Structure formats: structure tokens, C-alpha cells
Amino acid sequence: MKNITDYREKHVLVLGLAKSGYETAKLLHRLGAVVTVNDGKDLTDNQDARELKEMGVTVIDKEHPLTLLDTHELIVKNPGIPYHVPLLKEAVSRNIPIITEVELAYQINEGTTIAITGTNGKTTVTSLIGDMFSHSPETGLLSGNIGVVASKVAQTAGPMDTMITELSSFQLMGIRQYKPHIAVITNIYSAHLDYHGTQDDYVQAKMTIFKNQTAEDYLVFNDAQRHLLQDFPVHSQVSYFSPDHETNGAYIIDDHIYFQGEVICSVGQVVLPGKHNLENILASIAVCKLSGITNEAIIATLTTFEGIKHRTQYVATINGVKYYNDSKATNTLATTFALDAFKARVHWLCGGLDRGNGFEDLDHHVGNVERMYIFGETTPKLIAFAQQHAIPYEVCEDVKDAAAKTAHFTQPGQVVLLSPACASWDQYPTYEVRGDEFIQQVKKMG
């Protein structure tokens, strides 16, 4: 960890406790800052808040008083808090800087930084890169939006280590100096417009990942979307990836994976299913080859890595039927990727929170669906969708009931896929809880 003095005696407001706020407050205190944590929730019984108070950190809960801005020079905010809340709007009007904790992580990190963002696939790419590093002598430290607070990991990183950090658009809006040696953008589609307001603002947030890069750095980018770079100054070396044609980075030709003309392995050796995952694999290979990771380490991952939990995750094979958990598919785009990943007949478990959208985006992706198992608020819409496409369907109480019903209709060689295309909040607190219920039911059936 770099022993920086930028925050010594500086009055810093940490907005939002949660996991990142807790770690941020501890780090700033360690760096000599005068720290205040502010959260709208009642923190009376919160153990983290109690610990921070014992360290000398001021904790203010239940409200966001604007008077906090009178005494603080900097705000480090939780990424999920939108900029239109009154406290932040007033901070902007007063020109008080607002950052996210990944900026702190970069400032204290002694090692190399690899940063990954994108609408879909960023967690898989981050995990693939980490796994490839794990098969090599190099040390890769996973952090960021993948679930490990970056500023905590950065405190342990040495000069020879590499931080592999997944970043959301929310986190990227709060960077100033942050400069990864290798930046990755997996893809950019429409998302989080409730937070960003417009698609242009969302794209702008994603593109900040490379804004500070120089000619010694690399940007790994989806070749199919290279047109998106036209409106942004790129000072780094761009390495494109494509599953469809040769490009200057990682690509596939004749069922073989290449990087800059060198054969890495055959597509047949890859165990992770789906064309979208081939894109994730190509992005990961590009990063690792640029990082000096050997082909042997890369192949060791490609022949064993079966996926991230809740993301087209293989669960079990029962009576010749393969079960996959894709509970993370909380929108129709993610479900198109999952449905397209299988050539076998699919028994599709779908439904959840009704956000007002339709399912017409799936019209051209259900040709191999054998039967639908429908649950949640969107049941009427999905029944209409099934009828429109002449797909047999079962109405189910929840995911557990849907998984159990598949046993009555499946045949060996077929696939059962939980890919809801909807958020979970009508019946489950998170998509993880929904996916775990599916896994538990499948294991009971086995």
C-alpha cells in the first residue's frame, strides 16, 4: 500500500455505510483523514457503525443534513446513491468533489491495475481473468463490483501484484485519476437508464474507464461495437476481440481461438457454454496475453471453468437432463444469451417482477424451447407470449414449484434452464436467493 498523504487532516464525508462505506471509512481514518459517515438508515444496532465510532469516526444516521457540506472538503459516496439526491445536488452546486472508493483504491495500489466493465459479461470476464492468473506464477487479486471492496484489497497489494477489478457505471462516474494499465469493455447496451437518465450518459460513464490511459496502456474492446469509440479520444492501444472474424486481438476462425495470429486452443476444448461466453473468453484471453500469462495457464482455465454462480451455472445432470441456473438474467437481453447458448431442447423457467416491459425481444430466441414454466407477477404476459409462439407451458407458484414440475416433462438430452428475464423482487429479496432455491430443489430431485 502506498503511504499517501493526500487525506491527512482532510475532512471527508463517506455517504452510505454498507460494505464499501465501512471499508472506505476505515481506510481514510488510517490515512489520517477526519471522517464522517452518513447513512439514511437507523444504524443504532449496526455493528460496523459501532466499530467505526470506537475508532473515532463520526457516524450520522437517519437523515442527510445539508449542514454536513459546511465542514467537509470531499465526498466518497456509495456507487448506488444517485447524483440527484438533494445532498449531492447541493454538493455539486458548491463544487465539492465527489468520488467513489475505487478512486481511493487506485491511489494506494502499488501494483498493476486491470479494470473490467460492460453491460453484460463483466463478472464472468473478471472471474475468467482471475482464474487464468491462478494457474500462473502471477498474483491476481479480484476486487470491485464482483463483491470484494477494491479499497480493502488495494491495501494488501504489493508491487508485483495485479488488481483485477470489476467496475459498474456507477463506480466509474466517481473516478478522477483512476488509470488501469488494461481496461476492458465487454459490450454496451441499454441499461440503468433510471440512474443515468439517458443512454448517452450511460455510455459516457462506461467510457471513462479509459479516459486517463496513455500510449503504454491497453483497451480491450468488442469489435462489433468499435463504432462507439468514434466520439471518444482513445490514447491507449486498442485490442479488439471478435468471435466472427479475424481482428488485431483475440478472435475465432475455423473453430480455433487465436490471439494476434497465434493459436491458443480449439473451441471444442472450452467447457463454458454459449456464444456470449465465447466473447467473454476472448476478452479474457486478450487481457491475459497482454499481461504475459502463458497459453498453458489460459487453457487450464478454458478446460475447467464452468461459470459463475447464477450466470448460466451448471448445477447437475439428473436422468440425462442438464440443469442450469441463470437467475442473474434479470432482463430479456440476458435471457437471449442464455437461450441461444443451447442447441438441445430447453425447458425454460421464467417470470418475476413486472417492470412494465414486454417480452418481444425474445421472439427470435425461443425456437428450441420445449416448454415454459411460468411464475411471478409477469405470469399473464408470459402466458400470452407462450400462446403466441405455440409453446406448451405450466403455471407455477415459484421457482421451487417450477423446478419440481420439470421432472414430469423432461427427456434425456434436454436442458432445464432458469433464466427468468425479470427481476426477483416480487417473490425473492435478491436474484441470488432465487437461484439458490432452484439449486436446492434440483439437488433434492437428484
- Across 290-343, where does the E strand assignment appear? 313-318, 321-325
* CB neighbour list of residue 390: distance below 8 Å, 6 or more residues apart: none
Q: Which three cell numbers stand for residue 317?
A: 445432470
Burial class from Cβ neighbours inside 10 Å (0-12, 13-18, 19+) for residue 225 reads middle
118 is in an annotated binding site: yes
119 is in an annotated binding site: yes
Helix axes 47-55, 18-30, angle to 10 degrees: 10
208 is in an annotated binding site: no
In the chain, % helix, strand, coil (3-state, to 5) comes to: 35, 25, 40
Q: Which three cell numbers stand for residue 310?
A: 447464477
Q: What is the pLDDT of residue 112?
A: 98
Tell me the average confidence (pLDDT) per consecutive run of 10 residues in the chain, 446 residues long: 95 96 97 97 96 97 97 96 94 98 98 96 95 97 92 96 96 97 94 81 96 98 97 97 97 98 97 89 98 98 90 92 95 91 95 92 97 98 98 98 98 98 95 97 94
DSSP of 196-236: HSSHHHHHHHHHGGGTT--TTSEEEEEGGGGGGGGGS---S
120 is in an annotated binding site: yes
In CATH, what class is 11-99?
Answer: alpha beta
102-302: CATH topology is UDP-N-acetylmuramoyl-L-alanine:D-glutamate ligase (3.40.1190)
In Å, what is the CA distance from 138 to each residue of 141, 152, 160, 297, 363? 10, 20, 8, 10, 45
In Å, what is the CA distance from 135 to each residue of 128, 139, 159? 11, 10, 20
Measured distance CA(61)–CA(337) in Å, rounded: 42
Q: What is the pLDDT of residue 311?
A: 87
- Residue-range domain boundaries for the chain: 11-99, 102-302, 313-445
Options 3.20.20.60, 1.10.1660.10, 3.30.70.890, 3.90.190.20; CATH of 313-445 = 3.90.190.20
Q: Which three cell numbers stand for residue 173?
A: 462516474
Cell 504475459 -> residue? 292
Q: What is the pLDDT of residue 344?
A: 95
Of 252, 280, 298, nearest in space to 133 by CA = 298
Q: What is the pLDDT of residue 297?
A: 98
Measured distance CA(279)–CA(281) in Å, rounded: 5
121 is in an annotated binding site: yes
Q: Do domains 11-99 and 313-445 have the same CATH topology?
A: no
The side-by-side arrangement of strands in the sheet containing 237-242 is 139-144, 161-166, 112-117, 182-185, 218-222, 237-242, 250-253, 256-259, 262-266
Q: Which three cell numbers stand for residue 256?
A: 480455433
332 is in an annotated binding site: no
Q: What is the pLDDT of residue 191?
A: 72
The amino acid at 114? I
Q: What is the pLDDT of residue 409?
A: 98
Q: What is the pLDDT of residue 304?
A: 93
Instruction: Return the SS3 of 13.
Output: strand
End-to-end CA distance of the chain: 48
26 is in an annotated binding site: no
